[in-house]
Amino acid sequence: MYCKNCDLEFDDTTTICPKCKSVLKSNKNTYQKNFENKINEFKLRKKIRQGNILSTITILTVAIHILVELFMQIHIEDYYEIYIKYSPSAISVLVLVLSLKRGEKRHQFLNNILFISVMILISIFGTIYFSAPLVNRIFNGNYLFKEYWTVYGVGNFIIILECILIIFDDSYYLSYINKKENSNK
C-alpha cells in the first residue's frame, strides 16, 4: 500500500497511514514504475557497453589500418619528405580524432550531417592532394600500387563508417559521460 501525502510505502495489511492518517492506496503504479525504471537502467547499461565496444573497435581498426599502411610505406624510398610520406595516415587519424571529440557531445542532426560531409571531403581531397601524386610517382608500375590503394581506400571507408556511428549513435556519448562521471568520483 502507498500513501500519496507522505510518499511512503507500507505492507498490504496496513490500510491507514500512521503519519497523516489518510487512507492508503494500492501501489501497483509504484511497482510498474520500479519495473520500468529497472528496464530503462538495463537499456542504459547496454547502451554504455555498446559505446565502450564501439570505441574500442574503432581505435583498433584505426591502429590496424595505420600499421598496414605504414608497413606498405616502408617500401617507399626515402627521398620523399617524411611529412608527405605519412600524410595519408595523419589524415585518417585526424578524421577519427575529430569524430571522437564530436561524439562526446550531442549535436543537431543537420550539424552532424555537415560535419560528416566535411570529414569525407577532408579524407577524399586530402588523399587526392597528398597521396595520389606521391603514390603514382613512387609505385609507378610497382606491384604494391593496387594493394596500397585498396588497403588505404577500404581502411578510410571503414574509418568514415565508424565515425558516422560514433556521431549518430548515442551509445558512445553515454559511455563517455559514464567514464567522465566515474573518474570524478
Q: How far is CA 157 from CA 37, 67, 96, 152, 168, in A?
A: 39, 16, 12, 8, 17
Return phi, psi of residue 22, to 5°: -90, 160
Domain ranges in the chain?
43-184
pLDDT at res. 79: 45
Q: How much is the pTM?
A: 0.59
Provide, rounded to the nearest whole percent, the portion of the chain with pLDDT above 70. Answer: 68
DSSP alpha helix (H) spans, 74-169: 82-85, 87-103, 109-126, 132-138, 144-168
Residue 130 has pLDDT above 80, yes or no: no
Residue 52 has pLDDT above 50, yes or no: yes
Q: What is the 3-state secondary structure (H, E, C) of 34-63?
A: HHHHHHHHHHHHHHHHHHHHHHHHHHHHHH
Mean pLDDT of 104-120: 85
- In a 13 Å sphere around the CA of 96, the CA atoms on its Cβ side amount to 24
- Highest mean predicted confidence (pLDDT) among 41-50, 129-138, 139-148: 41-50
Q: Look-up: residue for cell 613512387?
A: 138
Residue 141 has pLDDT above 70, yes or no: no
Tell me the pLDDT tens digit for each residue of 155-180: 778 878 878 877 777 777 777 777 77
| Helix (H) or strand (E) run with residue 66 in it | helix 28-73
